[in-house]
Amino acid sequence: MKINKTVYLPFFIISIILAYSQTAGALHILTPVEQLGKSIFFDKNLSINKNQACASCHDPATGWTGPDAEINAHGAVYQGSVSTRFGERKPPSAAYAAASPIMYYERKDELFIGGSFWDGRATGEKLGNAAADQAQDPFLNPVEHGFADPACVVFRVCNADYKYSLEKVYPGECDIQWPLGLDVNKACGASEALTLPVNVRQKINQSFNAIALAIAAYEASPEVNPYSSKFDYFLKGETELSIEEKAGFDLFNGKGKCSKCHISDGRKPLFTDFTYDNLGVPANPENPVYKINADYIDTGLGGFLEKPETSGEWQKLAKGNMGKHKVPTLRNIDKRTSSKFVKAYMHNGYFKTLKGVVHFYNTRDIKPACPGLYTEEKALAENCWPGPEVKANLNSEELGDLKLTDKEEELIVAFMETLSDGFFSTEKK
């Protein structure tokens, strides 16, 4: 039947609007503070060479993680604003991460819970919010945005033309008496901190906190956490999972033991319990860090706890937490721009395929050790696994020999593929 455009157009527009509103996020009106956080998150000007935003390493199109398939396929760590500098870890998703509580130690189960970063070092104690503590770090990290001074971030945010500016959202925060004769823009291109009077410094610290809290507010907003995956519609009874996806979900919760850490129950599961574990992930031989330090070992949470600035009580627990990394969300784990786009998994990006990840959980303890630091591809081809990056504190109770068949591994992958946001608008039957 030929549709009569004039009659159907209004109806058509209304149904599009309805479909969009269902994808949540899409029609969510951000509050002014969330809007400010969003502008900051996507602003490349807030880096030493004006070439890097948070989104450069946390792109919504690839599940709020690294957007460069070539990098993901190899070292999986991203260049900073200064192109010769690299971090040594893979960017985790910046979505569904803001729910992580302020880090605490649960005595009963002897577990650290909460905090931000793979190693939890942004505990949330400073600003009362782990995501906000985290958000201050990249700006000053030499291998990320690269500023030597928070004053530079504050200066550029205060001079940006955001619709919801810092001054508008938090009146007074940009009322800063910059010393006469100081060319802040020029000084911020250098690698030294600015010399500022104490009262100006205090003011800047306060504004820098406001900036971090705005980013955290955006990261906690429905736009970043839309819960609009096929799985979410399934939970609401608005779509069905295929037989394979359903079987995968059952394995995820049962024989695969995945939900013991990637919590899957409740109405809006986050697929993490914000605890830490050492899965025995092999070192990623392509990580550029080894060119600088061949003996580099990522000790994760234990490495953070061990630091002199950590409280004495926690320091004592460092040894028992070496090699542990935070359980990441699995939401958007398969979100990619095309089926060929390579993503990297785990703190060091060792894995490039979800099948490889599941196969590792399934067979870590039953395959022979590879004779060298093999990549995932080579290890799969040679039917071996390289030893763990950190041998201590290996979790052998919940993984290693799951006795899943090849088909069952595939089903678990099929289930994880239902966790990508933006399902409703394109695929709902």
Token pair 């081809």: residue: 381
CA distance linking residue 54 with residue 47, whole number of Å: 9
By C-beta, is 130 or 424 nearer to ligand HEC?
130
Q: Is 256 a binder of ligand HEC (CB under 6 A)? A: yes
CA distance linking residue 213 with residue 400, whole number of Å: 40
Residues between 18 and 47 with contacts to ligand HEC, criterion CB under 6 A = 41
Q: Is 279 a binder of ligand HEC (CB under 6 A)? A: yes
**303 closest CA partner among 326, 329, 328, 283:** 326
Min separation Cβ 426 and ligand HEC, Å: 23
With contacts defined by CB under 6 A, name the span among 154-162, 312-320, 324-332, 377-385 that binds ligand HEC: 324-332
CA distance linking residue 179 with residue 382, whole number of Å: 64
Q: Which amino acid is at 231?
A: F
User: Of 89, 336, 352, 359, which one interacts with ligand HEC (CB under 6 A)?
Assistant: 89
Both tokens assigned to 411? 């089903």
Both tokens assigned to 157? 């945010």
CA distance linking residue 352 with residue 345, whole number of Å: 6
Residues in the chain: 429
Q: For the purposes of burial, counting CB atoms within 10 Å of the CB of 104, is it exposed (0-12), middle (13-18) or buried (19 or more)?
A: middle
**Contact pattern from residue 354 through residue 373 relative to ligand HEC, giving x for each residue in contact according to CB under 6 A and a dash for the rest:** x--xx--x------------
**163 closest CA partner among 42, 58, 21, 25:** 42
User: Of 164, 304, 345, 385, which one interacts with ligand HEC (CB under 6 A)?
Assistant: 345
**Contact pattern from residue 178 through residue 217 relative to ligand HEC, giving x for each residue in contact according to CB under 6 A and a dash for the rest:** -------------------------------------x--
**310 closest CA partner among 87, 107, 115:** 115
Binding-residue total with ligand HEC (CB under 6 A): 52
CB 264 within 8 A of CB 253: yes
User: Of 34, 43, 133, 144, which one interacts with ligand HEC (CB under 6 A)?
Assistant: 144
CB 254 within 8 A of CB 366: no
Min separation Cβ 2 and ligand HEC, Å: 48
Min separation Cβ 256 and ligand HEC, Å: 4
Q: Is 346 a binder of ligand HEC (CB under 6 A)? A: yes
**Contact pattern from residue 69 through residue 88 relative to ligand HEC, giving x for each residue in contact according to CB under 6 A and a dash for the rest:** ---------x-x------x-
Min separation Cβ 60 and ligand HEC, Å: 12
Q: Is 390 a binder of ligand HEC (CB under 6 A)? A: no
Q: Is 258 a binder of ligand HEC (CB under 6 A)? A: yes
Both tokens assigned to 385? 């696994």
**156 closest CA partner among 47, 301, 233, 302:** 47
Applying CB under 6 A, which residues contact ligand HEC?
A: 41, 52, 54, 56-58, 78, 80, 87, 89, 91-92, 94, 97, 116-119, 131, 134-135, 138-139, 144-145, 215, 256-258, 260-262, 277, 279, 281, 325-328, 330, 333, 345-347, 354, 357-358, 361, 395, 398-399, 412
